[in-house]
Homo-oligomer: A and B are copies of this chain.
Amino acid sequence: MTVTADRLGSLRLELARQGVAGFLVPRADEHQNEYVPASAERLAWLTGFTGSAGLAVVLPDAAAIFVDGRYTLQARNEVDAKLFEQCHITEAPATEWIAANLRPGEILGYDPRLHTMPEIERYAAAAGKAGGNLRSLDRNPLDAVWRDRPAPSPLPAVPHDLRFAGRSSEEKRGGIAASLAAAKTEAVVLTLPDSIAWLLNIRGEDVPYTPLPLCFAVLRADATVTLFIEEGKLPPVTRAFLGPAVAVGRPQDFGAALEALGAGGRRIQADPATASAWIFDRLKAGGAAIAPAPDPCLIPKAAKNETELAGARAAHRRDGVALTRFLAWLAAAAPGGALREIAVSDQLERFRREGEHFRGLSFPTISGAGSNGAIVHYRASEASERALEPGSFYLVDSGAQYLDGTTDVTRTIAIGEPSPEMRDRFTRVLKGHIALASCRFPQGTTGSQLDALARHALWQAGLDYDHGTGHGVGSYLGVHEGPQRISKVASAQPLVPGMIVSDEPGYYRTGAYGIRIENLIAVVPVETEAAERRLYGFETLTLAPIDRNAIAPALMDDAEINWLDTYHARVRETLTPLVDPATAAWLATATGPLG
């Protein structure tokens, strides 16, 4: 009997003990984090699947795992198909599987802390179709049988210095509290750790890649806060930093606190898009009048202040030094032909670690040579990695967490001489990158309105890429941050000054090569003579050469060539004083005019 069969069997026994037929196992924690702590890796423990998104449904005689197109192959390798039917999460969704497999009268259990209300409504409808029912379980049955479940991280939450944060927590709390008071709302429940980290100017080490302290909080209209966090995670220095307006509660008391909060029909705000069903259950149980609204920290957190922008620029100078040293090293080492993906990305990480304020990577590096570059969410392993061979592209998408900023950059490097088709595609991706980076737009414009600018040059040749053009980025916080984004998906969120987004069009030829050119860009006001509208544009933050050896100059117009030459001159002038002479010499060549 395999480990997985054993685990699945013990979960089914526990389900029977709790009087339910089935259970939902999402790849989610209590905060809907992108990166979850080891103690929340329930899906991986049960099924073996280690991807970043997915869901398992367990019934007495059947079980299935649902993953998206990125992970179809990986799930096939990691999950025992005899135990879990493998399904595409949108083409054969879990709701349909439940409707077809749950039997009349059976109860499907779920952990209300791990699902949002809209999810639960969909699963309840599916169970209803089958003649069964969905039931909220007080005690997660998987946790009951997961004997060696990792303990929560003991690492402390630490103050995030005002010289990086730019605004005091008092000021931030005051601003949001005033709008709560104006809306006659008693309090807001905050469930996103990055919102709380931003609001209280603290950081932590509880999940990989993002400096989050896992916690919940309640902010009241009088600007006081109760922070619910594991005991021991607040050393005296952090406790003192939080000040007297922040009370501290134990996580196990959070539910009772929510019930007390809304007593007497008080108006309590929570975000149905991100707060779990359990939060709403507790508020309702206490008698609250629930005011559903987006997390009020999202917009002020996304619109970086001047200090955060200055920090982002400084972090990107350091990141640019590391990248440039790396690219110079690669240019010298690659012709030997012996370089492989993992060693190359390790070298990049070594250069980054030497930078001041470096705290770690901001996500797992994508280091893809040749055909591996065409796998959008590729992660190199010893089994999969390829050598960097002449006539190929090498794609590296990486980023770091610095105390003063978060970076995310992709460069595609020609190893040897690219084919005319590769040059054509690279140049179209670059034209899209430039079109977005250089555009101006009036106040009120959303990222979805700008998305086509980055795709236009590819579209003209009948080409496209199947991912968004840009995601929001935090300030020493999540490398993926909302609500701003540049995407085909319709959005009502205007871009406002201070928001940082990525600009990362790409092109992928399966089995051959992948191209992506990514800089981070910040929304900035633009002053133009005769402008009749409040006008915004982008400031490029990322500083690293774009490989001129991969460009077909004949496809570029004068304005595009001018943009590239100006960008390269800025990279050269900024970084030359910060690198060693050999790197500086390489940089001088790499950033020369295209014309």
Contact = CB atoms under 8 A, between A and B. Distances in A.
Nearest to A460: B440
A231 to B, nearest CB: 46
Contacts of A526: 462
Interface stretch (A295-303, A334-342, A447-455, A471-479): A447-455
Contacts of A488: 445, 449
Interface in A64-121: none
Interface residues of A, number: 31
A563 to B, nearest CB: 13
B461 A531 contact: yes
B462 A533 contact: yes
Contacts of A451: 449
A462 B535 contact: yes
Given A439-B456, A450-B452, A461 B491 contact: no
A592 to B, nearest CB: 25
Interface in A468-516: 488, 490-492
A491 to B, nearest CB: 7
A222 interface: no
A557 interface: yes
A382 interface: no
A492 B441 CA distance: 22
B557 A464 contact: no
Nearest to A441: B459
Interface string A519-534: 0000000101011110
Given A449-B452, A450-B452, A531 B439 contact: no
A333 interface: no
Interface string A143-168: 00000000000000000000000000
Interface string A212-236: 0000000000000000000000000
Contacts of A528: 461-462
A515 to B, nearest CB: 14
Nearest to A463: B532
A562 to B, nearest CB: 13
A456 B537 CA distance: 12
B535 A459 contact: yes
Contact of A449 (B439, B440, B448, B532): B448
Given A452-B449, A490-B492, A491-B490, A462 B557 contact: no
Contact of A453 (B456, B463, B464, B535): B456
Contacts of A462: 440, 442, 526, 528, 530-533, 535
Contacts of A445: 452, 488
A490 B490 CA distance: 6
Contacts of A461: 528, 530-531
A453 B557 CA distance: 17
A442 B463 CA distance: 8
A451 B451 CA distance: 11
B464 A533 contact: yes
Contact of A452 (B452, B463, B490): B452
Contact of A440 (B453, B459, B492): B459
B441 A452 contact: yes
A488 B442 CA distance: 12
A422 to B, nearest CB: 13
Nearest to A449: B452
Given A439-B456, A452-B441, A452-B452, A463 B557 contact: no
Nearest to A526: B462
A452 B436 CA distance: 11
A214 to B, nearest CB: 35
Contacts of A450: 452
A428 B100 CA distance: 57
Contacts of A491: 490
Interface string A295-319: 0000000000000000000000000
A460 B532 CA distance: 11
22 contacts: A439-B456, A439-B459, A439-B460, A440-B460, A441-B452, A441-B459, A446-B490, A448-B448, A449-B449, A449-B488, A450-B452, A452-B452, A459-B535, A461-B528, A461-B531, A462-B530, A462-B531, A462-B532, A463-B532, A464-B532, A490-B491, A490-B492
Top 9 nearest A-B pairs by Cβ distance?
Answer: A462-B531, A490-B490, A462-B528, A462-B535, A449-B452, A442-B464, A441-B459, A440-B459, A440-B460
Given A442-B459, A462-B535, 18 more contacts: A439-B459, A440-B459, A440-B460, A441-B459, A442-B462, A445-B452, A446-B490, A448-B448, A448-B449, A448-B490, A449-B449, A449-B451, A453-B456, A459-B535, A461-B530, A462-B526, A463-B531, A463-B533
